[in-house]
Amino acid sequence: MIQLSENSENIQGKRYWKSLDDLADTPGFRSWVENEFPEGASFIDGVQRRGFLKVMAASFGLAGLGMTGCRRPEHAILPHGRSPEELIPGVPAFYSSARPTSSGFIPLIVESHEGRPTKIEGNPSYAPGGGSTDIYTQASVLDLYDPDRARGCFINETESKGSDTSSRWKKLPSAKITENLSQLENLERVAILVEHSSSSARESLLTKLQAKKAKVYSYEAIDFTSPEKGLSKLLGLKKATRTSPNFSKSRKVLSLDSDFLGHREPNSAVNTKQFMQGRKVHSPKDSKGMNRLYSVESDLTITGGVADHRLRLSSSQIEGFSALILSKLLQTSADKNDKLLAHLDSLSEGLESQEEWASECANDLLINSKHSLAVAGSHLPASVHLLTYKINQVLGNHGTCLDYLQIEDSAGDLSSLCESLENKDIDTLIFLGGNPVYHCPSIDWADLIKSTSSTYRLGASIDETSQLCDYHTGQSHFLECWDIGKTWTQDAYAPTQPLLAPIFDTLSDLELLSSVLGEIKNSHDIVKSYFDEIPDISENFENFLKHGVSPAKSASLKDLPNADTAILKIEGDQIEISASSLEVLLVPDFHTWDGQFSNNGWMMECPHPITKLTWDNAILISPVLAKQLESKHPDLGLLPKATMLNKNGQIAPDAAVFQDGKQKAPIVTLDVGDHHQITAPLYVQPGLADYTVVSTIGQGRSRVGRVGSGTGFNTCSLLHSDSKRISNGATIKPTGDFHILANVQEHWSMEGRAIVRETNAKYYAEHEDFAQKMGSESHSPPMWGKDQDASLAEKATTTPRGNSAYEHPDHTYEHSETFGLHQWGMSIDLNQCTGCSACVVACQSENNIPIVGKDQVLRGREMHWMRLDRYFSSEERDGAELPSDVQVSFQGVACMHCETAPCESVCPVNATVHDEEGLNAMAYNRCVGTRYCANNCPYKVRRFNFFDWNKRDTNELYQGPIGEKNDSLVDMGKNPDVTVRMRGVMEKCTYCVQRIQESKIRVKVNAQRKAKLESGKDGADINLSVKDLKVPDGTIKTACQQVCPSDAIAFGDLSDPESEVSKLKTNPRDYSVLGYLNTRPRTTFLAKVRNPNPKMPDYTKKPHAYREYSDKAYPADHGKSKKKDSH
Amino acid sequence: MATVSDKTEQPAILAKVKPAPWKDAPLVENRRSFHWVTEKICGIVESKTPNWWWWCFITALCIASFTGMGLVYLVSTGVGVWGNNNPVNWGWAIVNFVFWIGIGHAGTLISAILCLLKQKWRTSINRASEAMTVFAVLCAGIFPLFHVGRVWFAWWLFPIPNANAIWPQFRSPLEWDVFAVSTYATVSILFWYMGMIPDLAVIRDRAKETWRKYFYGVLSMGWRNANNHWRNFEMAYLLLAGLSTPLVLSVHTIVSFDFAVANLPGWHTTIFPPYFVAGAIFSGFGMVLTLLLPVRAIYGLHDLITQKHIDNICKITLATGSMVGYAYSMEFFIAWYGANPYEGFAFINRAFGNYWWSYWIMVSCNVICPQLFWFKKIRENTPLVWIISIFVNIGMWFERFVIANTTLSRDFLPSSWGYYSPTVVDIFTFFGTFGFFSVLFLLFLRFLPLMPMAEVKSVMPQADPHGGKH
């Protein structure tokens, strides 16, 4: 499946790899190996920038002596007598690497500035990912500089095991740990509990350990492998069966409670890339080939937001629903199996009201058989996966749209570990990553561990699990160690290559495991020797590192076993779901994943795409349930009292009670059974199944660093021992307390304003320019006068005279010396955006955007330059009622770089000015902070430094000069190309001006070099032509653009009619937000096109947002249009 | 004054009609002598400092220290100590600025415009009003200066030649503010001080203690009561009055541009300049009443500040209050008539949205309250007039709050709607400015002549022995 991108080597100036390969046998190399983890490395404990730079300078110095390895030996501080090869101060280096996750290795390119990794990008050589990444990978670079990392290895000096021992950790050299482990004699009595990983190197070490009788168990709270194992068991297969969908080939997709575009399912970036390609619509012709998504789900996910048809259904009912779909499919097929059909009918009992929806959906899938796809959520029971398997089989999708991969897994599960511990079979217990003590509060860990003689923990920080262990071994960040593993779909190997030596005296999982095997080796040697054993990689290690990926053979299932008998064995449990017996769905937390990002400020502060909550989790309930609770407990204050504006339809009601702009949420206890209980605040979420409540795992950690402490609510007690995440029969009881939630978007409705413009494919096919017909500018007196018909790009880059009587300077290139060579512009395709929010974190990482903490978010001072606005729209707006069924529209909003920018004209000190290439530039040094620009910005994209965010800890902001300064470790991750802003200045998106400048300089240098060679003249005499200085289209990618898995963002030169962005701007779907203000923004949007099926019962002729707009803009036609539009 | 002469020929139709002469109430009551006026005014400055003054002064100083502490905390820590946030980037600071600047309008209006219009009743209230103006402008100046993120660079707003060769941006209304307010402050101080010179000379001449001789001697700049001094004085006074008159209109016009030039719904309206000027005069006269009624009671100035003065001020308040009310309704009309949905929403939101309470406080204080001044009984009830004047001040503060916050908190994109509430630091900093103002006003009462003695004397009956029959 993997295709190596042809251009990967042609990118100017970037280097992806370093290799030690051919030096491996020299004596110099051997001595280098010995110095790999020098004892002295610990002297940089409590790193200072100077010290760090000294060390790095030293390593670069040595690199110049012929060592080209990317980790360099540290000997002494040497000045650069001669500049080391490939190191130009100020010019970043790029290396390939990969991030190991429980859902596969993610191939990466990492940017490094003078030895410090600052930014992670996807590896474009891995075609399915195409250079994009998911949000967690973007944020993971911050963990390297987490001030609360375990800075080395520790021994727990508490006498009694099990009690909280936070202050009793004493530092220990890592060599001592490896030495201890290598001396373990009786490996039979060693148990290792590992977190899930696709690391092949780790797999081989574990196999070796198992061969020596060591016991290996694996555990993951968000277990993606359980449906694989479950499906295999039902089908009678030995190996786990992984479903590997290929969305790029599927034209109709049915998602059964699967958030395949979002964070809840593995491989979301690749899925998004593939799926959203099928939604690119550039002309009415394309709209016919657009794919269609049916989503049946209990929680409102971003996948449900993209869906063309969305059905709210409790997760427990998905089994019945998939049976319904299957039965509809089978009814039309040639060979009817009456027994099977009858069984399916019994399974789908109680879903009569969904019959029409299901049958039309099934018809649509069937029409597109071989090019359709059904996917089921990984939290669903194996029976659903079996039914989904059968659905795909009936549709003949295997081989075209999906593959079944055979996955080896020999590790035992958590319950067998508990059993062994209870039987006192284990002397040494090693926790390798993960945080099982936090995830499984139902297990009495302290008691179980008593029987062991020593417990080791490898973890990034001292957490809940470490507290119970004797030794905590600091885990090297993946940018500090070597590894090799496969992607989720098993189609490629990717190397994890370190960009710097471990900052602290830490170990990687491979190093720890190999020491248990009795070999104290560093991770490079382990990976190198493992690499040499892999039969299916033909290229050498050097080339492997250079590309960062190498195709792998995957074991896919050739002959599909028949599922009929297994389906007949499914016992459909009729579960009662009602207000008094609620269904509880636990999903991984958007912010922390399973808790591992709890101390990552970027993730904690990135608003959840749907709820827009930061820093907290909550129990999500449907508006219907909220209303019932409110009537039972009137003092709950869950839904706000209707105001006059709500009642007369001026604006929709808020979804929550906001007090002074802060969401006041009642805290409730959620009881499941007798002892499973959680306490958390309620959040009313339109779009939820009526009686399903959703909460997230991964918050409310008790032992966590400064960022995550005191955030969120722990829900792990609801997690079943087999990682099952659906519970039933729950009740909600208010505690009478309230919690303040930091919600960054108070209002959910667009209020009929033409902000996100959207329509249906069918309407679009007839009205290509529908977006131009919306908004005040479409029916106000022509403000552009005779230039009314010019394209938006033209309006933005030229100075349309309109009807103005005044003479303006002509800024066109031919007439002005100050007119820039390029005219930058951006186009955001709203049809492509899923709302995954990766751009938000990518921007934060690229532009040194600080986090401000929950308290400041509550005050409305979050700093994100790029934000994702999320709007809901509903079919009917009933006064003050909150709708249950909503359509979701996302809109990424950053500085629009208006040509007639309202911010520029009001700044009294000229701190924000227009540059000749159309950028709305912000001179931080000149800004005095009147904030007038932010007031006057209609898009509200300007961000003010109310405090010294970068200088002080978020808890110390109000202490002013007497407050404590931030840990300097965090400063090392900053991008040196971007100014770190001080308090009192305004900041905003710059279109990544540092990337623009870098490319412009590179192009100019190359052009000069070329001209010099050709003409033989010296620098000053060369006259470079405009053509030579132009940056080729596609060279510059803004951070948000680069990360976007669905390619929703295009950036480039508007003065070049052939550039991608210029072409997009001539598309009739192109429109400016608030165009009537005549701000002439450089960022314009391509209107959204939904693709509903006219035969479906929930079909409406126009999307709800469009109808809301026309009802408000043309109130006279209100009754008429409603009749026309509905059904 | 028009006089009726029997000798002139009457038109036939009016032969039988003989209008009764309009009898103006005297501007100084109880037939007081020139000497009494001098004694009264100088006595305030020359007598022993009364106890109440000390109590008030110390209290005011304490209150003023809130502003001091608030500003120290603000500058050392960051603008974040205030309640401002992203949609509402201005908050109380700008509200307070416009509020104080508005108050500063009555003084110059009384001294300049009423002077040009030959309104004689202005004489007994103009000095105190001018003092009020100067002090209010000082209070106002604090806020735009300190609301900026980096106060230490606030001088960049002044067009000072510098090595960076960067000039201020002359398109920005904030830049216009700098010129408008600083010009206004300069001219007001000049006008106030120059008018005081003859009176300072009187105090100097009566002074017994050495420090007084020097203090008032220096301040009175060698005034000898010479004829050419008076001639120059009156010409200069007239010129300054002429110069200040457009300033009264321009300052608040330009302050209103801070809003009107922005493109936000609810701000971007052409009605703002006249509406702001009317509001400023309204609030200024409100404050004049608030200050002078207690001063009149404490110092027993009933003969100098008569019911006629109070009546006139009340009537101006009523007139400007009604203008403001008209502006409020016209804003709604235009928002509807303009058919811009964003504008329309902005105004409905003002009245019924998240800050509805502030809107209705504003309407009741500014539009409804002053309507009571239609009734003579109410105008004659001094305590009630004073209470109404306080309401006017409150109402005008809320007017600025409504304008600044309702618009910013709910503007174009509903996604960025927010809510603003002030912090303790906001409240205390603002509260402290009343202390600051009071400190200055108390010092003024104690050390400077409260009324222009010569001018007051010139409007007394004795000044015109011929009864205006020349």
Q: Are A123 and A129 contacting, i.e. CB atoms less than 8 angstroms apart?
A: yes
A2 pLDDT above the threshold of 50: no
A504 pLDDT above the threshold of 70: yes
Q: Are A480 and A502 contacting, i.e. CB atoms less than 8 angstroms apart?
A: yes
Q: Are B114 and B63 contacting, i.e. CB atoms less than 8 angstroms apart?
A: no
Q: Are A157 and A139 contacting, i.e. CB atoms less than 8 angstroms apart?
A: no
CA A1117 → CA A891, A1111, A1126, distances in Å? 28, 7, 14
Structure-model confidence comparison of residues A815 and A186, the more confident one: A186
- Amino acid (one-letter) located at A593: W
Q: Are B285 and B317 contacting, i.e. CB atoms less than 8 angstroms apart?
A: yes
Measure CA A113 to chain center: 24
Mean pLDDT check: name the lowest of A356-370, A812-826, B38-52, B74-88: A812-826
Q: Among residues A954, A1015, A947, A955, which one has the least CA distance to residue A981?
A: A947
A1113 pLDDT above the threshold of 50: yes
Q: How far apart are CA A597 and CA A139, in angstroms?
A: 9
**Residue A719 Ramachandran class (φ > 0 left, ψ -120 to 50 alpha, else beta):** beta
Q: Name which of B170, B413, B420 to mutate to probe chain A: the one with the most chain A Cβ atoms within 10 A of its Cβ.
A: B413
Mean pLDDT (chain A, rounded): 83
How high is the pLDDT of residue A296? Answer: 93
Label residue A285 by pLDDT band (50, 70, 90): confident
Within 8 A of B420 by CB-CB distance, chain A residues are 661, 860
Q: Among residues A282, A247, A242, which one has the least CA distance to residue A261?
A: A247
Q: Among residues A850, A882, A830, which one has the least CA distance to residue A604?
A: A850
Label residue A819 by pLDDT band (50, 70, 90): low
A19 pLDDT above the threshold of 50: no
Average pLDDT for residues A355-366, to the nearest whole number?
90
- pLDDT digits over A140-172, tens only? 999 999 988 988 888 887 655 545 545 678 888
Q: Are A751 and A651 contacting, i.e. CB atoms less than 8 angstroms apart?
A: yes
- Token pair belonging to B360: 């209705």
How high is the pLDDT of residue A1121? Answer: 44
Q: Are A865 and A161 contacting, i.e. CB atoms less than 8 angstroms apart?
A: no
B59 touching chain A per CB within 8 A: no
- Token pair belonging to A844: 């934060």
Q: Are A855 and A998 contacting, i.e. CB atoms less than 8 angstroms apart?
A: no
Average pLDDT for residues A1104-1123, to the nearest whole number?
70
Q: Helix (H, G, I), strand (E, B), or coil: what is residue A401?
A: coil
How high is the pLDDT of residue A1124? Answer: 42
User: How big is the CA angle at B63 (ends B62 and B65), to the nearest 5 degrees?
Assistant: 65
Average pLDDT for residues A462-469, to the nearest whole number?
86
Of B156, B264, B348, the CB nearest to A909: B156
Residues 6 or more apart whose Cβ sits within 8 Å of residue B174: A906, A908, A930, A932, B144, B157, B258
The share of chain A scoring above pLDDT 70, in percent, equals 86
Q: Are A195 and A102 contacting, i.e. CB atoms less than 8 angstroms apart?
A: yes
Label residue A1050 by pLDDT band (50, 70, 90): very high
How high is the pLDDT of residue A1127? Answer: 40
A674 pLDDT above the threshold of 80: no
Verify whether the Cβ–Cβ distance B413 to A944 is below 8 Å.
no
Residues 6 or more apart whose Cβ sits within 8 Å of residue A877: A649, A652, A749, A883, A1108
Surface of A (1099-1118) touching B: CB under 8 A: 1112-1113
B13 touching chain A per CB within 8 A: no
Q: Are B411 and B109 contacting, i.e. CB atoms less than 8 angstroms apart?
A: no
Using only C-alpha atoms, what is the Rg of chain A? 29
Within 8 A of A891 by CB-CB distance, chain B residues are 415
- Token pair belonging to A1013: 């060679």
Residues 6 or more apart whose Cβ sits within 8 Å of residue A555: A239, A405, A406, A490
- Amino acid (one-letter) located at B225: N
Verify whether the Cβ–Cβ distance A861 to B85 is below 8 Å.
yes
Label residue A76 by pLDDT band (50, 70, 90): very low
- pLDDT digits over B196-218, tens only? 999 999 999 998 889 999 999 99
A860 touching chain B per CB within 8 A: yes
Q: Are B140 and B97 contacting, i.e. CB atoms less than 8 angstroms apart?
A: yes
Q: Name which of A612, A868, A898, A940 to mutate to probe chain B: the one with the most chain B Cβ atoms within 10 A of its Cβ.
A: A940
Label residue A542 by pLDDT band (50, 70, 90): confident
Q: Name which of B415, B421, B426 to mutate to probe chain A: the one with the most chain A Cβ atoms within 10 A of its Cβ.
A: B415
A45 pLDDT above the threshold of 50: no
Q: Helix (H, G, I), strand (E, B), or coil: what is residue A573?
A: coil
- Note the ipTM here: 0.91
B159 touching chain A per CB within 8 A: no
Beta bridge partners of A667: A681
- pLDDT digits over A1092-1108, tens only? 999 999 898 889 888 88
The share of chain A scoring above pLDDT 90, in percent, equals 28
B344 touching chain A per CB within 8 A: no
How high is the pLDDT of residue A1019? Answer: 64
Average pLDDT for residues A848-859, to the nearest whole number?
92
Max mean pLDDT among A62-76, A182-196, A607-621 falls in A607-621
Label residue A31 by pLDDT band (50, 70, 90): low
Surface of A (969-988) touching B: CB under 8 A: 983-986
DSSP conformation class of A486: E
Q: How far apart are CA A863 and CA A997, in angstroms?
A: 24
- pLDDT digits over B149-205, tens only? 999 999 999 988 888 788 898 989 999 999 999 999 999 999 999 999 999 999 999
Q: In chain B, which stretches have pLDDT less than 70?
A: 1-19, 467-470
Verify whether the Cβ–Cβ distance A939 to B412 is below 8 Å.
yes
Structure-model confidence comparison of residues A812 and A403, the more confident one: A403
Beta bridge partners of A682: A619
Beta bridge partners of A588: A697
How high is the pLDDT of residue A75? Answer: 45
Structure-model confidence comparison of residues A909 and A816, the more confident one: A909
Average pLDDT for residues A64-70, to the nearest whole number?
44
Mean pLDDT check: name the lowest of A624-638, A699-713, A763-777, A1104-1118: A1104-1118
**Other C-beta atoms within 10 Å of A284: how many?**
16
User: What string of DSSP letters covers A713-754?
Assistant: ---GGGS-TT---EEEEEEEEEEEEEEEEEES----B-TT-S
What angle separates helix B307-337 from helix B123-146, to the nearest 10 degrees? 40
Residue with token string 């977006």: A771
Residues 6 or more apart whose Cβ sits within 8 Å of residue B51: none
A1085 pLDDT above the threshold of 90: yes
Q: How far apart are CA B393 and CA B317, in angstroms?
A: 11
Burial class (CB in 10 A: 0-12, 13-18, 19+), B239: exposed
Measure CA B460 to chain center: 26
- pLDDT digits over A213-254, tens only? 888 998 888 888 888 888 888 888 888 888 889 998 889 999
- pLDDT digits over A678-706, tens only? 899 999 999 999 999 999 998 988 888 88
Of A927, A938, A944, the CB nearest to B263: A938
- Token pair belonging to A923: 């001179």
Label residue A577 by pLDDT band (50, 70, 90): confident
A138 pLDDT above the threshold of 60: yes
Within 8 A of B421 by CB-CB distance, chain A residues are 660-661
Q: Helix (H, G, I), strand (E, B), or coil: what is residue B345?
A: helix
How high is the pLDDT of residue A666? Answer: 92
Q: Are B342 and B265 contacting, i.e. CB atoms less than 8 angstroms apart?
A: yes
A183 pLDDT above the threshold of 50: yes
- pLDDT digits over A81-112, tens only? 666 666 777 788 889 999 999 889 999 999 98
Residues 6 or more apart whose Cβ sits within 8 Å of residue B232: none
How high is the pLDDT of residue A23? Answer: 44
How high is the pLDDT of residue B17? Answer: 64
Q: Are A313 and A273 contacting, i.e. CB atoms less than 8 angstroms apart?
A: no
How high is the pLDDT of residue A1126? Answer: 41
Q: Are B137 and B130 contacting, i.e. CB atoms less than 8 angstroms apart?
A: no
Size of interface A-B (CB pairs under 8 A): 205
